[in-house]
Chains A and B, each alone.
Chain A
Amino acid sequence: MPGVQFTILESPCVPLPVENIDTDQIIPARYLTATSREGFGEKLFRDWRYKPDGEPDKQFVLNNPEYKGSVLVTGRNFGCGSSREHAVWALYDYGFRAVISSFFADIFKNNALNNGLLPVVISADKLEHLFMLVNREPSMKVRIDLEHQLLEIPKAGMALKFDINPYKKECLLRGLDDIDYLLSLKGEIEKFEKNALG
Chain B
Amino acid sequence: MSNFVWNPWRIVSDIWQHHYLLGQLIKRDVLLRYRGAMFGVLWMFLSPLFMLIIFAFVFGQIFQARWPQQTGDLPFWLLLYSGLITFNIFAETVSRAPGAVRSYASFVKKIIFPVQILPLVPLGAALVHCAFNFLILLVALAFTGGLHWQILLFPLLLLPVVLLALGLSWFVAAWGVFIKDMTQIVPMLVQMLMFLSPVFYPVSATPPVLQPFYHFNPLGMVIETSRAVIADQPIRWDTWGLAFGLCLGAAILGHAFFEHSRDEFADAL
Q: Are A and B part of the same complex?
A: no
